[in-house]
Protein backbone atom coordinates (compact mmCIF):
# COMPACT_ATOMS: atom_id res chain seq x y z
CA UNK A 1 0.00 0.00 0.00
CA UNK A 2 1.13 3.53 -0.70
CA UNK A 3 -0.93 6.57 0.17
CA UNK A 4 -0.84 10.01 -1.42
CA UNK A 5 1.53 11.36 1.18
CA UNK A 6 4.06 8.59 0.57
CA UNK A 7 3.77 9.13 -3.17
CA UNK A 8 4.34 12.85 -2.64
CA UNK A 9 7.49 11.94 -0.68
CA UNK A 10 8.67 9.68 -3.49
CA UNK A 11 7.95 12.47 -5.96
CA UNK A 12 10.15 14.89 -4.06
CA UNK A 13 12.93 12.33 -3.76
CA UNK A 14 12.83 10.86 -7.24
CA UNK A 15 11.33 13.33 -9.69
CA UNK A 16 14.62 15.24 -10.09
CA UNK A 17 16.46 12.10 -11.13
CA UNK A 18 13.67 10.99 -13.44
CA UNK A 19 13.47 14.42 -15.13
CA UNK A 20 17.26 14.51 -15.56
CA UNK A 21 17.30 11.08 -17.19
CA UNK A 22 14.46 11.95 -19.53
CA UNK A 23 16.03 15.26 -20.53
CA UNK A 24 19.08 13.31 -21.71
CA UNK A 25 16.92 10.80 -23.54
CA UNK A 26 14.62 13.28 -25.24
CA UNK A 27 16.66 16.48 -25.32
CA UNK A 28 13.69 18.51 -24.16
CA UNK A 29 12.89 19.72 -20.65
CA UNK A 30 9.15 20.16 -21.26
CA UNK A 31 8.74 16.67 -22.67
CA UNK A 32 10.67 15.27 -19.69
CA UNK A 33 8.79 17.22 -17.03
CA UNK A 34 5.38 16.46 -18.44
CA UNK A 35 6.12 12.75 -18.80
CA UNK A 36 7.38 12.52 -15.21
CA UNK A 37 4.29 14.36 -13.96
CA UNK A 38 2.09 11.95 -15.90
CA UNK A 39 3.94 8.97 -14.46
CA UNK A 40 3.24 10.24 -10.95
CA UNK A 41 -0.41 10.82 -11.78
CA UNK A 42 -0.47 7.19 -12.88
CA UNK A 43 1.21 6.20 -9.61
CA UNK A 44 -1.41 8.06 -7.57
CA UNK A 45 -4.10 6.18 -9.50
CA UNK A 46 -2.53 2.74 -9.18
CA UNK A 47 -0.33 2.40 -6.11
CA UNK A 48 -2.95 2.90 -3.39
CA UNK A 49 -4.77 -0.21 -4.71
CA UNK A 50 -1.98 -2.33 -6.12
CA UNK A 51 0.79 -1.18 -3.77
CA UNK A 52 4.05 0.50 -4.76
CA UNK A 53 6.30 -1.49 -7.10
CA UNK A 54 9.57 -2.89 -5.70
CA UNK A 55 11.58 -0.06 -7.28
CA UNK A 56 9.33 3.01 -7.35
CA UNK A 57 12.06 5.15 -8.95
CA UNK A 58 12.64 2.63 -11.74
CA UNK A 59 8.91 2.32 -12.31
CA UNK A 60 8.54 6.11 -12.56
CA UNK A 61 11.39 6.42 -15.07
CA UNK A 62 10.11 3.57 -17.25
CA UNK A 63 6.52 4.81 -17.15
CA UNK A 64 7.62 8.37 -17.88
CA UNK A 65 9.71 7.21 -20.84
CA UNK A 66 6.76 5.32 -22.28
CA UNK A 67 4.55 8.35 -21.81
CA UNK A 68 7.09 10.56 -23.56
CA UNK A 69 7.35 8.14 -26.48
CA UNK A 70 3.57 7.94 -26.77
CA UNK A 71 3.41 11.70 -26.86
CA UNK A 72 6.16 12.10 -29.41
CA UNK A 73 4.62 9.43 -31.66
CA UNK A 74 1.21 11.01 -31.30
CA UNK A 75 2.50 14.43 -32.25
CA UNK A 76 4.68 13.10 -35.04
CA UNK A 77 8.34 13.06 -34.19
CA UNK A 78 9.56 16.59 -34.40
CA UNK A 79 13.24 16.34 -34.95
CA UNK A 80 16.01 13.86 -35.57
CA UNK A 81 17.15 13.90 -31.98
CA UNK A 82 13.75 12.75 -30.74
CA UNK A 83 13.47 10.13 -33.48
CA UNK A 84 16.83 8.83 -32.36
CA UNK A 85 15.74 8.82 -28.72
CA UNK A 86 12.71 6.72 -29.54
CA UNK A 87 14.75 4.35 -31.69
CA UNK A 88 17.18 3.78 -28.82
CA UNK A 89 14.37 3.29 -26.37
CA UNK A 90 12.97 0.43 -28.40
CA UNK A 91 16.00 -1.52 -27.19
CA UNK A 92 15.95 -0.01 -23.77
CA UNK A 93 18.05 -1.04 -20.82
CA UNK A 94 17.81 0.08 -17.22
CA UNK A 95 19.87 3.16 -16.39
CA UNK A 96 23.09 2.59 -14.47
CA UNK A 97 23.55 4.64 -11.33
CA UNK A 98 26.57 6.55 -12.70
CA UNK A 99 24.62 7.58 -15.77
CA UNK A 100 21.75 8.82 -13.64
CA UNK A 101 24.15 10.79 -11.42
CA UNK A 102 25.79 12.38 -14.44
CA UNK A 103 22.35 13.24 -15.77
CA UNK A 104 21.53 15.11 -12.58
CA UNK A 105 24.79 16.97 -12.63
CA UNK A 106 24.27 17.93 -16.27
CA UNK A 107 20.82 19.26 -15.48
CA UNK A 108 22.13 21.23 -12.48
CA UNK A 109 24.67 22.95 -14.72
CA UNK A 110 21.98 23.69 -17.29
CA UNK A 111 19.68 25.20 -14.65
CA UNK A 112 22.51 27.33 -13.23
CA UNK A 113 23.97 28.36 -16.57
CA UNK A 114 25.46 31.86 -16.36
CA UNK A 115 23.46 32.89 -19.46
CA UNK A 116 20.30 32.67 -17.29
CA UNK A 117 19.29 35.33 -14.78
CA UNK A 118 19.84 34.35 -11.14
CA UNK A 119 16.08 34.39 -10.47
CA UNK A 120 15.63 31.96 -13.37
CA UNK A 121 18.49 29.76 -12.12
CA UNK A 122 16.86 29.55 -8.70
CA UNK A 123 13.41 28.78 -10.09
CA UNK A 124 14.67 26.11 -12.48
CA UNK A 125 16.83 24.44 -9.84
CA UNK A 126 13.99 24.23 -7.33
CA UNK A 127 11.58 23.00 -9.97
CA UNK A 128 13.72 20.55 -11.94
CA UNK A 129 16.31 19.37 -9.42
CA UNK A 130 14.47 19.66 -6.10
CA UNK A 131 11.11 18.67 -7.61
CA UNK A 132 9.12 21.53 -6.04
CA UNK A 133 5.81 22.58 -7.53
CA UNK A 134 5.65 25.99 -9.19
CA UNK A 135 3.20 27.11 -6.52
CA UNK A 136 5.60 26.15 -3.71
CA UNK A 137 8.47 28.09 -5.30
CA UNK A 138 6.21 31.10 -5.81
CA UNK A 139 5.17 31.08 -2.15
CA UNK A 140 8.77 30.81 -0.96
CA UNK A 141 9.87 33.78 -3.05
CA UNK A 142 6.73 35.83 -2.34
CA UNK A 143 5.64 36.18 -5.95
CA UNK A 144 2.38 35.07 -7.55
CA UNK A 145 2.15 31.62 -9.07
CA UNK A 146 1.57 33.22 -12.48
CA UNK A 147 4.76 35.26 -12.21
CA UNK A 148 6.76 32.19 -11.21
CA UNK A 149 5.20 30.09 -13.99
CA UNK A 150 6.09 32.78 -16.53
CA UNK A 151 9.63 32.95 -15.20
CA UNK A 152 9.99 29.20 -15.67
CA UNK A 153 8.49 29.23 -19.15
CA UNK A 154 10.77 32.05 -20.23
CA UNK A 155 13.86 30.34 -18.83
CA UNK A 156 13.03 27.05 -20.52
CA UNK A 157 12.40 28.86 -23.78
CA UNK A 158 15.81 30.46 -23.59
CA UNK A 159 17.50 27.12 -22.87
CA UNK A 160 15.89 25.70 -25.97
CA UNK A 161 16.29 28.71 -28.30
CA UNK A 162 19.87 29.52 -27.36
CA UNK A 163 20.76 25.82 -27.18
CA UNK A 164 22.14 25.94 -23.66
CA UNK A 165 23.86 22.58 -23.47
CA UNK A 166 23.12 19.70 -21.17
CA UNK A 167 26.65 18.89 -20.16
CA UNK A 168 29.10 18.80 -17.27
CA UNK A 169 31.66 21.57 -17.84
CA UNK A 170 35.23 20.51 -18.49
CA UNK A 171 37.96 20.92 -15.86
CA UNK A 172 39.07 24.29 -17.23
CA UNK A 173 35.60 25.84 -17.04
CA UNK A 174 34.52 24.08 -13.87
CA UNK A 175 35.62 26.63 -11.24
CA UNK A 176 33.69 29.40 -12.97
CA UNK A 177 30.67 27.27 -13.79
CA UNK A 178 30.47 25.92 -10.25
CA UNK A 179 30.17 29.41 -8.76
CA UNK A 180 26.57 30.07 -9.87
CA UNK A 181 25.55 26.55 -8.78
CA UNK A 182 26.87 27.16 -5.26
CA UNK A 183 25.43 30.68 -5.25
CA UNK A 184 21.95 29.40 -6.15
CA UNK A 185 21.95 26.86 -3.31
CA UNK A 186 23.28 29.45 -0.84
CA UNK A 187 20.68 31.98 -1.96
CA UNK A 188 17.87 29.44 -1.60
CA UNK A 189 19.12 28.62 1.89
CA UNK A 190 19.25 32.25 2.96
CA UNK A 191 15.84 32.92 1.50
CA UNK A 192 14.38 30.28 3.81
CA UNK A 193 16.75 30.77 6.72
CA UNK A 194 16.48 34.52 7.09
CA UNK A 195 12.75 34.59 6.31
CA UNK A 196 12.48 38.35 6.62
CA UNK A 197 8.90 38.24 5.40
CA UNK A 198 6.09 35.80 4.76
CA UNK A 199 5.14 32.61 6.52
CA UNK A 200 8.17 31.48 8.46
CA UNK A 201 7.28 27.79 8.38
CA UNK A 202 6.82 27.65 4.63
CA UNK A 203 10.01 29.54 4.10
CA UNK A 204 11.95 27.24 6.35
CA UNK A 205 10.97 24.33 4.11
CA UNK A 206 12.96 26.12 1.45
CA UNK A 207 16.02 26.12 3.70
CA UNK A 208 15.57 22.34 4.02
CA UNK A 209 15.49 22.10 0.23
CA UNK A 210 18.76 24.00 0.03
CA UNK A 211 20.40 21.59 2.49
CA UNK A 212 19.04 18.69 0.44
CA UNK A 213 20.46 20.26 -2.76
CA UNK A 214 23.83 20.84 -1.08
CA UNK A 215 23.89 17.19 0.03
CA UNK A 216 23.01 16.06 -3.48
CA UNK A 217 25.76 18.19 -4.98
CA UNK A 218 28.25 16.86 -2.42
CA UNK A 219 27.26 13.30 -3.39
CA UNK A 220 27.69 14.12 -7.06
CA UNK A 221 30.94 16.09 -6.72
CA UNK A 222 32.66 14.75 -3.60
CA UNK A 223 36.09 15.95 -4.77
CA UNK A 224 35.19 19.63 -5.06
CA UNK A 225 36.31 21.35 -1.83
CA UNK A 226 33.92 24.32 -2.22
CA UNK A 227 30.97 21.96 -2.65
CA UNK A 228 31.87 20.30 0.64
CA UNK A 229 32.51 23.74 2.15
CA UNK A 230 29.04 24.93 1.19
CA UNK A 231 27.40 21.83 2.67
CA UNK A 232 29.39 22.28 5.88
CA UNK A 233 28.40 25.96 6.07
CA UNK A 234 24.71 25.16 5.63
CA UNK A 235 24.78 22.32 8.18
CA UNK A 236 26.56 24.44 10.79
CA UNK A 237 24.20 27.38 10.24
CA UNK A 238 21.23 25.05 10.29
CA UNK A 239 22.41 23.53 13.59
CA UNK A 240 21.47 26.82 15.32
CA UNK A 241 18.00 27.01 13.81
CA UNK A 242 16.15 26.18 17.06
CA UNK A 243 18.11 28.78 18.99
CA UNK A 244 17.75 31.58 16.46
CA UNK A 245 14.22 32.66 17.27
CA UNK A 246 12.56 33.44 20.58
CA UNK A 247 9.05 32.55 21.66
CA UNK A 248 7.64 35.67 19.98
CA UNK A 249 9.44 34.86 16.75
CA UNK A 250 12.11 37.49 17.38
CA UNK A 251 15.63 37.00 16.14
CA UNK A 252 18.19 35.96 18.76
CA UNK A 253 21.78 36.83 17.90
CA UNK A 254 24.63 34.37 18.21
CA UNK A 255 26.06 35.64 21.55
CA UNK A 256 22.62 35.47 23.22
CA UNK A 257 21.55 32.06 21.92
CA UNK A 258 20.82 29.14 24.24
CA UNK A 259 23.56 26.85 22.97
CA UNK A 260 21.96 23.74 24.44
CA UNK A 261 19.38 24.13 21.66
CA UNK A 262 22.03 23.71 18.98
CA UNK A 263 21.73 20.49 17.00
CA UNK A 264 24.73 18.40 18.01
CA UNK A 265 24.53 15.92 15.12
CA UNK A 266 24.48 18.68 12.50
CA UNK A 267 27.46 20.33 14.24
CA UNK A 268 29.40 17.04 14.27
CA UNK A 269 28.68 16.46 10.60
CA UNK A 270 29.56 20.03 9.64
CA UNK A 271 32.77 20.03 11.66
CA UNK A 272 33.86 16.72 10.14
CA UNK A 273 33.38 18.23 6.67
CA UNK A 274 35.40 21.31 7.69
CA UNK A 275 38.21 19.00 8.83
CA UNK A 276 38.10 17.22 5.44
CA UNK A 277 38.41 20.61 3.72
CA UNK A 278 41.34 21.63 5.92
CA UNK A 279 43.16 18.39 5.08
CA UNK A 280 42.66 19.01 1.36
CA UNK A 281 44.00 22.52 1.74
CA UNK A 282 42.32 24.14 -1.29
CA UNK A 283 40.51 26.89 0.58
CA UNK A 284 37.68 28.93 -0.91
CA UNK A 285 35.08 31.37 0.41
CA UNK A 286 32.48 28.77 1.41
CA UNK A 287 35.06 26.63 3.20
CA UNK A 288 36.39 29.59 5.16
CA UNK A 289 32.88 30.68 6.15
CA UNK A 290 32.21 27.10 7.23
CA UNK A 291 35.41 27.16 9.29
CA UNK A 292 34.25 30.36 11.01
CA UNK A 293 30.90 28.71 11.79
CA UNK A 294 32.80 25.67 13.08
CA UNK A 295 34.85 27.79 15.51
CA UNK A 296 31.62 29.30 16.88
CA UNK A 297 30.08 25.87 17.25
CA UNK A 298 33.10 24.74 19.28
CA UNK A 299 32.42 27.31 22.00
CA UNK A 300 30.21 26.12 24.84
CA UNK A 301 29.47 29.72 25.80
CA UNK A 302 29.90 32.91 23.80
CA UNK A 303 32.78 33.87 26.11
CA UNK A 304 34.62 30.64 25.23
CA UNK A 305 34.82 31.64 21.54
CA UNK A 306 38.30 31.54 20.03
CA UNK A 307 38.10 35.05 18.58
CA UNK A 308 41.69 35.31 17.41
CA UNK A 309 41.13 32.20 15.30
CA UNK A 310 38.04 33.89 13.85
CA UNK A 311 39.99 37.06 13.04
CA UNK A 312 42.55 34.94 11.16
CA UNK A 313 39.77 33.23 9.21
CA UNK A 314 38.19 36.57 8.29
CA UNK A 315 41.58 37.70 7.00
CA UNK A 316 41.60 34.61 4.82
CA UNK A 317 38.01 35.26 3.68
CA UNK A 318 38.96 38.81 2.68
CA UNK A 319 41.44 37.35 0.21
CA UNK A 320 38.50 35.87 -1.70
CA UNK A 321 35.96 38.67 -1.33
CA UNK A 322 36.68 42.18 -0.10
CA UNK A 323 33.16 43.01 0.98
CA UNK A 324 32.55 45.72 3.60
CA UNK A 325 30.26 43.32 5.48
CA UNK A 326 33.13 40.85 5.84
CA UNK A 327 35.34 43.70 7.06
CA UNK A 328 32.67 44.67 9.58
CA UNK A 329 32.47 41.10 10.85
CA UNK A 330 36.24 40.91 11.10
CA UNK A 331 36.22 44.13 13.15
CA UNK A 332 33.59 42.64 15.50
CA UNK A 333 35.83 39.61 16.03
CA UNK A 334 38.87 41.85 16.52
CA UNK A 335 37.04 43.86 19.20
CA UNK A 336 36.29 40.59 21.00
CA UNK A 337 40.02 39.88 21.22
CA UNK A 338 40.33 43.12 23.20
CA UNK A 339 41.52 45.41 20.41
CA UNK A 340 38.43 47.62 20.54
CA UNK A 341 40.01 50.89 19.36
CA UNK A 342 41.68 49.15 16.39
CA UNK A 343 38.33 47.62 15.51
CA UNK A 344 36.54 50.96 15.76
CA UNK A 345 39.19 52.61 13.56
CA UNK A 346 38.59 49.91 10.92
CA UNK A 347 34.84 50.21 10.84
CA UNK A 348 34.93 54.00 10.77
CA UNK A 349 36.55 53.63 7.35
CA UNK A 350 33.72 51.42 5.99
CA UNK A 351 31.07 52.79 3.69
CA UNK A 352 28.10 51.14 5.36
CA UNK A 353 26.16 54.17 6.57
CA UNK A 354 22.78 52.74 5.49
CA UNK A 355 23.24 49.47 7.32
CA UNK A 356 21.75 49.42 10.81
CA UNK A 357 24.15 46.79 12.12
CA UNK A 358 27.06 49.04 11.20
CA UNK A 359 25.75 51.69 13.59
CA UNK A 360 24.78 49.13 16.23
CA UNK A 361 28.32 47.73 16.12
CA UNK A 362 29.85 51.21 16.33
CA UNK A 363 27.59 51.94 19.29
CA UNK A 364 28.75 48.81 21.05
CA UNK A 365 32.42 49.64 20.52
CA UNK A 366 32.05 53.29 21.53
CA UNK A 367 30.26 52.16 24.68
CA UNK A 368 33.08 49.78 25.54
CA UNK A 369 35.55 52.62 25.08
CA UNK A 370 33.52 54.74 27.50
CA UNK A 371 32.37 57.22 24.84
CA UNK A 372 28.76 57.11 26.05
CA UNK A 373 27.22 60.06 24.18
CA UNK A 374 28.61 58.95 20.84
CA UNK A 375 27.48 55.38 21.59
CA UNK A 376 23.94 56.54 22.32
CA UNK A 377 23.87 58.52 19.07
CA UNK A 378 25.05 55.48 17.10
CA UNK A 379 22.34 53.27 18.69
CA UNK A 380 19.75 55.91 17.85
CA UNK A 381 20.82 55.95 14.19
CA UNK A 382 20.74 52.14 14.09
CA UNK A 383 17.22 52.13 15.56
CA UNK A 384 16.09 54.62 12.89
CA UNK A 385 17.43 52.39 10.13
CA UNK A 386 15.87 49.06 11.05
CA UNK A 387 12.32 48.14 10.08
CA UNK A 388 12.18 45.23 12.51
CA UNK A 389 10.17 46.24 15.60
CA UNK A 390 11.89 43.88 18.04
CA UNK A 391 15.28 45.08 16.90
CA UNK A 392 14.21 48.73 17.14
CA UNK A 393 13.13 48.23 20.76
CA UNK A 394 16.38 46.46 21.57
CA UNK A 395 18.45 49.30 20.07
CA UNK A 396 16.42 51.98 21.90
CA UNK A 397 17.13 50.13 25.14
CA UNK A 398 20.84 50.08 24.38
CA UNK A 399 20.66 53.82 23.71
CA UNK A 400 19.07 54.44 27.09
CA UNK A 401 21.57 52.20 28.87
CA UNK A 402 24.46 54.03 27.26
CA UNK A 403 23.05 57.35 28.41
CA UNK A 404 22.42 55.91 31.86
CA UNK A 405 26.06 54.99 32.25
CA UNK A 406 26.94 58.44 31.11
CA UNK A 407 24.75 60.07 33.69
Partner 1 sequence: MSQYLMSVYYVEGEEPLPDEIMQEMYADTDALNKKMQEAGAWVFGGGLHTPDTATVVRSEDGEFLTTDGPFPEAKEQIGGFWIIEAENLDAALDWASQATVACRAPVEIRPFQDEPAV
Interface contacts to partner 1, rule CB under 8 A: 113, 115, 161-165, 167, 169, 173
Q: How far is the CB of 27 from partner 1 (least distance, A)?
A: 11
Q: How far apart are CA 357 and CA 381, in angstroms?
A: 10
Asked whether the beta carbons of 122 and 187 are under 8 A apart, the reply is: yes
Q: How far apart are CA 323 and CA 207, in angstroms?
A: 24
CB-side exposure of 284: number of CA atoms within 13 Å?
A: 19
Q: Which is nearer to partner 1, 173 or 298 (CB)?
A: 173
Q: Which residues contact 7 (CB under 8 A, 6 or more apart)?
A: 40, 43, 44, 47, 52
Q: How far is the CB of 321 from partner 1 (least distance, A)?
A: 23
Q: Which is nearer to partner 1, 163 or 281 (CB)?
A: 163
Q: How far is the CB of 158 from partner 1 (least distance, A)?
A: 9
Bridge partners, 251 (sequence order): 245
Q: Which is nearer to partner 1, 31 or 288 (CB)?
A: 31
Q: Which is nearer to partner 1, 161 or 201 (CB)?
A: 161
Q: Which is nearer to partner 1, 128 or 137 (CB)?
A: 128
Q: Which is nearer to partner 1, 15 or 82 (CB)?
A: 82
Q: How far is the CB of 277 from partner 1 (least distance, A)?
A: 29
Asked whether the beta carbons of 82 and 26 are under 8 A apart, the reply is: yes
Q: Which residues contact 210 (CB under 8 A, 6 or more apart)?
A: 185, 186, 188, 189, 192, 193, 234
How far from chain centre, in Å, is Cα 364? Answer: 31
Q: How far is the CB of 156 from partner 1 (least distance, A)?
A: 14
Q: How far is the CB of 124 from partner 1 (least distance, A)?
A: 15
Phi, psi of 95 (to 5 degrees): -80, 130
Q: How far is the CB of 227 from partner 1 (least distance, A)?
A: 21
Bridge partners, 245 (sequence order): 251
Q: Which is nearer to partner 1, 80 or 304 (CB)?
A: 80
The sign of the CA dihedral 276, 281, 282, 284 is positive
245 three-class SS: strand
Q: Which of 355, 367, 366 is nearest to 391 (CA)?
A: 355
Amino acid sequence: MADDREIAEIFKRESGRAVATLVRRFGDIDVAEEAVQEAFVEAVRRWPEAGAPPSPAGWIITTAKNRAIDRLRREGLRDDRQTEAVRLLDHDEPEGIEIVEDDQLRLIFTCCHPALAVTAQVALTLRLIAGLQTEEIARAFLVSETTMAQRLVRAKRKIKAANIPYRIPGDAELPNRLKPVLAVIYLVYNEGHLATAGDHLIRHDVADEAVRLARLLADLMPDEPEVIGLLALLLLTESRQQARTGTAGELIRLPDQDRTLWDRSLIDEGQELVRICLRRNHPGPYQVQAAIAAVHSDARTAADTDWSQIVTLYDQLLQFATSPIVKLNRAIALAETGKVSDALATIDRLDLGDYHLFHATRGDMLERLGRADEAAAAYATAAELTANTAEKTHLRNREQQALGFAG
